[in-house]
A and B are shown apart, each in its own frame.
Chain A
């Protein structure tokens, strides 16, 4: 129990640090915040901004206060009332907008993670069992490509092949399974390769252990030795890698969502940054960081179930 309290406390500190960093970094971007807000909300991007408008917006959003005071006010309000601000652009509470966009991102990142886990682990096992045979070499070269190709480029190639040439799935859109296919594949490719590599390495190490030989001497069939004896032992580092991949999936989602017009937090974040919609940026980063922390917390809990020798106290 004590462990959980410590862990949650640590997560809270992480979230706070990330929020502070985001706030000050966004304010480091050249160009006036008030001016950009006006251009995105009142007048057009190309239009000029009047002094009255600037003063009005600056005082409405307290933009003339020192930065630390602005941040302090935001944090105080967030902790006391749970209100993390109102979007300058959409004029709606950030939480409401996040709730609107979150399901799409969870769907995409979740599908990619499942794909990375299932494909990565099974290909990794296959590769390990065929060590140094032709199929193993082919898969290993394939992973090299997988980890080397950037996701956004893979996305464009996939669109070119599957949507434009073969006309199997739509280019973009959101709602049903065929829309999910391309973005999930493009997003997860890197993670599939990473998970596969670690699975292969760990399986090879585990298969050489004495308990595997003893299991063989008991007359167990190969599939049972792999699934029951080897995989559970090899799983610890694999789960760790999958947890860390969540970070790259959420980061990759920012670009992939933009490419596929996927209405998730990633594309919202990109739009908010160009509009200097500070509360919205804060909200998006907060959501992404929280998702990452929660997944890694779950990973740590899975540890104790995988290896009885691990106990948190």
Chain B
């Protein structure tokens, strides 16, 4: 049973005369209890999908396709209904914990307000939050409530944000690049945190990351994105150990552990996308067809792949 279904989602940002195609025709579903990973390089459209699910995209974004959450069409519900879903049923763990906490409000207030909105008594809310903070390895939680965000370390801020996002044990947690910008020690801490969240809450999670280690550690299935498209989708272990799409292969070879072999070239301009396969200009296996015809998603050995590559057939 899938908890959320994303059908043919496209997002374009209009900036003056041009429009940037951030996401093109992305479709996938996340099953109940599953941890689904969206991986890809920066700017591949991963985060945009995360924000689209909560309708948090800026006003200059043009969205098409639809998203069904527990059967509800997210794009057509009223704002008041949407508010009820946000934070309670679908919660976001934003990237950049430093920028996501309000610098002029005390940590306590920023935690409390999540409960306050649902009519939960302040004291009750604080009690719940403290319990959650202790669970998520935050020391001296009571002291933290009286401090401001700038008085915390990066790792602490991230845990604090995790507390806010998990307040209601949401059915779906969207974690957007949780390891971005963290030092190695905090990164290891984040991996612990997510395995803990997964184990203790067992909730459905959409993990948006370019950290392949984290993805392998916690994800059940993975979708690889390139230039706004999903190019490969399969079980995490399959994608990361026997990648099929040339881009995924390049991505994995570029990992420091696998020799840090960079992918040659750059991802295409999203204002004018290349004809044919978006990846063909950088692809070693690129053939005649690749520069002419845009590949469609095809099933392959139980997974999905978007590639003309001959050996796959």
Contact = CB atoms under 8 A, between A and B. Distances in A.
Contacts of A309: 103, 148, 150
29 contacts: A208-B58, A210-B96, A210-B99, A211-B101, A211-B103, A214-B92, A214-B94, A214-B100, A214-B161, A215-B102, A216-B56, A217-B56, A217-B87, A218-B86, A218-B91, A218-B114, A218-B117, A219-B83, A220-B83, A228-B113, A229-B102, A229-B105, A232-B105, A233-B103, A306-B104, A307-B103, A308-B104, A308-B148, A309-B148
Interface of B: 51, 54, 56, 58, 83-88, 91-92, 94, 96, 99-105, 113-114, 117, 148, 150, 161, 164
B104 A233 contact: yes
A224 B113 contact: yes
Contacts of A217: 54, 56, 86-87, 91-92, 94
Q: How large is the interface on A (under 10, 10 to 19, 20 to 34, 35 or more residues)?
A: 20 to 34
A209 interface: yes
B264 to A, nearest CB: 33
A182 B64 CA distance: 54
Contacts of A218: 86-87, 91, 113-114, 117, 164
Contacts of B100: 210-211, 213-214
Given A224-B113, A308-B150, A219 B87 contact: yes
A221 interface: yes
Contacts of A215: 102, 113
Interface centre among B58, B96, B113, B164 (most CB of A within 10 A): B113
A224 B105 CA distance: 13
Interface string A217-242: 11111001000110011000000000
A308 B108 CA distance: 14
B77 to A, nearest CB: 13
Interface in A172-214: 208-211, 213-214
A220 to B, nearest CB: 6
B150 A211 contact: no
Contacts of A221: 83, 117
Contacts, number: 75
**Chain A at the B interface: mostly helix, strand, loop or mixed?**
helix
Nearest to A310: B104
Contacts of B150: 308-309
Nearest to A221: B83
Contacts of B92: 214, 217
Contact of A219 (B85, B96, B102): B85
Which residue of B86, B94, B102 has the most chain A CB atoms within 10 A of its CB atom?
Answer: B102
Nearest to A236: B104
B113 A209 contact: no
Interface string A272-313: 000000000000000000000000000000000011110000
A218 B87 CA distance: 4
A308 B164 CA distance: 21
Contacts of A308: 103-104, 148, 150
Given A213-B51, A308-B104, 18 more contacts: A210-B100, A213-B56, A214-B92, A215-B113, A216-B54, A217-B56, A218-B113, A218-B117, A219-B84, A220-B113, A220-B117, A224-B113, A229-B102, A232-B102, A232-B105, A233-B103, A233-B104, A309-B103
A216 B56 CA distance: 8
Nearest to B86: A219
A17 to B, nearest CB: 35
